[in-house]
Amino acid sequence: MVRSKPAKIRSTDEAKTYSHPESDSPLRPEVGTQAHFPKKKLKAPKIYRYDSSISPSLEWDTNPARDQTDALIAEILNADSLEQVKAAALRLKAMSQPFLNWTGKAERLSFDVPTLPLFIHERLSTRAIIETVRGHKKGGDQLALELFGDPQHSIVDQTLKAYEHRDEWVNRMMLGDSLTVMNSLLEYEGLGGQVQMIYIDPPYGVKFGSNFQPFVRKRDVKHNEDQDMTREPEMVKAYRDTWEMGLHSYLSYLRDRLVLARELLIESGSVFVQIGNENVHHVRELMDEVFGTNNFVSIIQFQKTGGSASSLLASTVDYLIWYAKDKEKVKYRQLYIQRQIGDAALDRYDQVLLPDGSTRRLTADEILGLTPLLEGKRYQLTSLISDGATNSPSDFVFEGKTYIPRAGTHWKTTVQGLEELARQNRIEVMGTVLRYRRFVDDFPVIPLTDRWESTQLGVGLMYVVQTSPSVIQRCILMTTDPGDLVLDPTCGSGTTAYVAEQWGRRWITCDVSRVPLALARQRLLTATFPYYELKDSKRGPAGGFVYRRKQNKKGEEVGGIVPHIQLQNIANNERPKEEILVDRPEILKGITRVTGAFTFEATIPTPVQTEEQEQDETLEATGSFVDRLLGVLRKTPVLQLGGNRTVKFQSIRKPTRSLNLSAEATIATVSENGNGATPQPVAFVFGPENGQVIQRTVYQSAIEACAKNYSHLYVIGFAIEPNARELIENCEEVTGIPATYVQATPDLLMGDLLKNMRSSQIFSVCGLPDVGIQLEGDLYRATLYGLDVFDPVTMESDHRSGNDVPAWFLDTDYNGLCFHVCQAFFPKTGAWDNLKKALKNTHEESVWGHLAGTISAPFEAGKYRQIAVKVIDDRGNELLVVKSL
């Protein structure tokens, strides 16, 4: 694409954002409302069936597809119209196409996906954070709601009207398995046929760890390598890294997600899958099967940041496989790249017209760009002749000599046109024929093809497998318009959301890991973008951007509209065609644009704690999920405590006659005199598969564990309510038995796709934020002293300083439901530096000091007179504590 100078950002009184007034989305409930969510709104798992006409083999006599073939032939013979014949013939043809087969495919004719509502956990807004800190208070409910994109519906509205009432559009980030998230978008929100572009960046190969970064603060994790992890080896074990059946599980994983991606796409939509050379052929075959061979558009190769080590040829490119929902209707915007000195596209422009009218050939060094061309206009000589005889007059006199096309050919224009070309100094004699002078300036750009160079990311990786923004930017600009919806079910470091935000597209992104989502939130909250001029500010980006033709002092085209001068334009003395460079909209200088309001959502919390549903939860606790989790615990019995310390469980089994406990085991604890270790019995309680651990579950389990003389209670869950977390910290005082909360990695929700091995570390102990509140006159401050992590082996707490925390957020008026990020702190990263420079003239230095430290800016007591502090630890786990003012 054309490279333009970066926007010069000048400070203004406030940071601005784009909104999408022409779009809306269904009202979604906030995380604290699940207890009121009507049971009638809960939906059964959705079953998706594969195309039964695609047989796992082509053995006609033994395959049930033979009956379908006979039926289709009969349908063709008895058809009443040509359209019916064509439709049946196409289905018959599809049955005989070659396809990819793998273990388990033939037996799996369908798959079912949990249909879960999405709950809003956080509302985030960079503008709200800046205004809150600058004003040292919330700034009034109306201002806060506007900045957060939060209309603040009542609990009744959020539950009874959920997914029925429409709200203003706010971009969305989600925690959960992409399969579950996409199914929720289809079944609860009716987004089928509404997504314009989907970008999927799955693991490149069968090593699942290749797409995961297990540690928030460390960015140089190699592909499944841990040589540099000697200080904290648990970092490389934070996620399972092997598919249960290798490539077979990998293909099942990808096919299921492609099926749902197809359902989400609009008819003009596109899907891109980024992949390496290891499995590009398999993915192409998969996409042929899901989208149809007739909807294949292209395989694009692009340069990656570095070459992969190899004893033979090093791999320097990755691939984008592009399919359309319907190739006949696909939306496409041609992209162009600037002609650069030394590029192959300029090699044929080997002549120069000097100011005195003379010409010469460029030297080899000038063509390569080693020697600058100091004067003159660069051009190439092209033919003035086309094939085919003509009866029109053909004699043309140039510089006293008459030229006539040879037999069977004709001039590309009329004789009058040739005369106009001569007047414009566009004709030159080459040997015995006339040639047309085509200058580089006639069209200073060239169309982008399927080979993308100069897309390397360079330095500054946020994420181990981060994709270059320029790659995703080209995909977005080629296949979407401002205001269109873009989906990335493989969030990673949030590059797709970042680029979509920059170019005024609506976006949804999700990930099964908390680590990339923690990085993506930081990236989006602290980003700055050029403010592209809108055609209609009332319509937002959906109204389009403004493009203008502009030239610099050298006469070079630097605007978003460039002329495309062709021979016929000059010959006929007509206005040349103009091309729009969609990546060069007009930039309004003096405006700092930041990320618009967005939400952080999850599929996790859905338990409804009525008596009837408590019984349902108890039944669930004795069902297949608990059995599966018990099997995982047996295969991965080591619990990481940080600092290279571990707890190893032995004899893991189900307890006998238990009302609340899920499992029991023994561990070796240090004796009082420090000599040797004594086995101690411990108990486990598992939280729900699709819900939070609640206070009642912890209390009842602790009472039973204490009565049965267990030494410790481990509470394992994917999420936990704040009051349940607080009870765990004080469990020994309240119930007589100490307890520890253990965070399970969300990739467990992917079912049996991933292998559980002893090297896998999918359980980790989370600390509790140590937060203090200070009253200064009429204002309050919150201080994060650090994290306290309980050690169940030594029975002591390990303290970690607040300055050693990657990120923490503050809601200065927590309503017990959704968390509003009023202040966001990144003590270790300096993440606010770019925004600090952009707004240095309008914001006090103290503002940025607060946002980089452990002490909040002053704030007023709000309506609810309580605050909430959320800490993101090194593994992306979210640790929430609520304090009353």
| Percentage helix, strand, coil for the chain under 3-state DSSP, each rounded to 5 | 30, 30, 45
Query: 668: which strand partners?
Result: 679
| Per-residue pLDDT, 141 | 52
| Per-residue pLDDT, 394 | 87
Token pair 């099926």 is at which residue?
259
| Per-residue pLDDT, 465 | 47
Q: Please state, in angstroms and rounded to a whole number, the distance separating the CA atoms of residues 171 and 494.
A: 13
pLDDT band at 650 (very low <50, low <70, confident <90, very high): confident
Mean pLDDT of 66-81: 76
Q: Please state, in angstroms and rounded to a whole number, the distance separating the CA atoms of residues 685 and 664.
A: 9
- pLDDT of 678 above 90: no
- pLDDT of 433 above 80: yes
Mean pLDDT of 817-839: 81
| Per-residue pLDDT, 673 | 45
| Per-residue pLDDT, 239 | 38
- pLDDT of 209 above 60: no
| pLDDT tens per residue, range 468-523 | 888 999 999 999 999 999 999 988 888 999 999 999 999 999 988 777 888 889 89
Mean pLDDT of 708-719: 88
| Per-residue pLDDT, 227 | 31
The residue among 501, 536, 601 whose CA lies nearest residue 26 is 601
| Per-residue pLDDT, 14 | 63
| Per-residue pLDDT, 63 | 46
E-strand spans in 309-387? 315-324, 336-338, 351-353, 359-361, 377-383, 385-387
Q: Provide the percentage of residues in the chain whose pLDDT is more than 90.
A: 29
Q: Please state, in angstroms and rounded to a whole number, the distance separating the CA atoms of residues 135 and 148.
A: 16
| Per-residue pLDDT, 134 | 67
- pLDDT of 98 above 70: no
- pLDDT of 306 above 70: no
pLDDT band at 356 (very low <50, low <70, confident <90, very high): very high
CA geometry: angle at 165 spanning 161 and 167, to 5°?
125
H helix or E strand, kind and range, residue 422: helix 415-423
- pLDDT of 842 above 70: no
- pLDDT of 600 above 80: yes
- pLDDT of 426 above 70: yes
Highest averaged pLDDT of the listed ranges 109-123, 320-334, 635-649? 320-334
- pLDDT of 884 above 50: yes
E-strand spans in 207-248? none
Token pair 């005369």 is at which residue?
419
The residue among 510, 472, 366 whose CA lies nearest residue 1 is 472
pLDDT band at 463 (very low <50, low <70, confident <90, very high): very low
Query: 796: which strand partners?
Result: 791
- pLDDT of 314 above 90: no
| Per-residue pLDDT, 802 | 78
> By the 8 A CB rule, do 739 and 702 touch?
yes
pLDDT band at 439 (very low <50, low <70, confident <90, very high): very high
Mean pLDDT of 213-242: 35
| pLDDT tens per residue, range 739-786 | 888 877 766 665 555 544 444 445 666 677 888 999 888 889 899 988
Q: Please state, in angstroms and rounded to a whole number, the distance separating the CA atoms of residues 763 and 642.
A: 12
Mean pLDDT of 307-326: 81
Instruction: Tell me the Cα Rg of the chain.
Output: 32
Mean pLDDT of 617-642: 65
pLDDT band at 603 (very low <50, low <70, confident <90, very high): confident
Query: Is 478 or 725 the better-scoring residue by pLDDT?
Result: 478
Non-local CB neighbours of 616 within 8 Å, separated by 6+ positions: none
The residue among 513, 628, 630 whose CA lies nearest residue 209 is 513
Highest averaged pLDDT of the listed ranges 247-251, 546-550, 713-717? 546-550
- pLDDT of 339 above 60: yes
Q: Please state, in angstroms and rounded to a whole number, the distance separating the CA atoms of residues 227 and 220.
A: 12
- The overall average pLDDT reported for the chain is 78
Tokens of residue 485, six digits = 């919806």
Highest averaged pLDDT of the listed ranges 52-61, 538-547, 873-882? 538-547
| Per-residue pLDDT, 637 | 79
| Per-residue pLDDT, 566 | 94
Tokens of residue 223, six digits = 């592909």
| Per-residue pLDDT, 758 | 42
| Per-residue pLDDT, 623 | 52
> By the 8 A CB rule, do 257 and 200 touch?
yes
Instruction: Count CB neighbours of 863 within 10 A.
Output: 9
| pLDDT tens per residue, range 565-584 | 999 999 999 999 999 999 99
> By the 8 A CB rule, do 12 and 82 touch?
no
Mean pLDDT of 808-836: 84
pLDDT band at 52 (very low <50, low <70, confident <90, very high): low
What backbone phi and psi angles, to 5 degrees, belong to 179?
-65, -45
Range scoring the smallest mean pLDDT among 114-123, 175-184, 665-674, 732-741: 665-674
> By the 8 A CB rule, do 85 and 131 touch?
no
> By the 8 A CB rule, do 188 and 26 touch?
yes
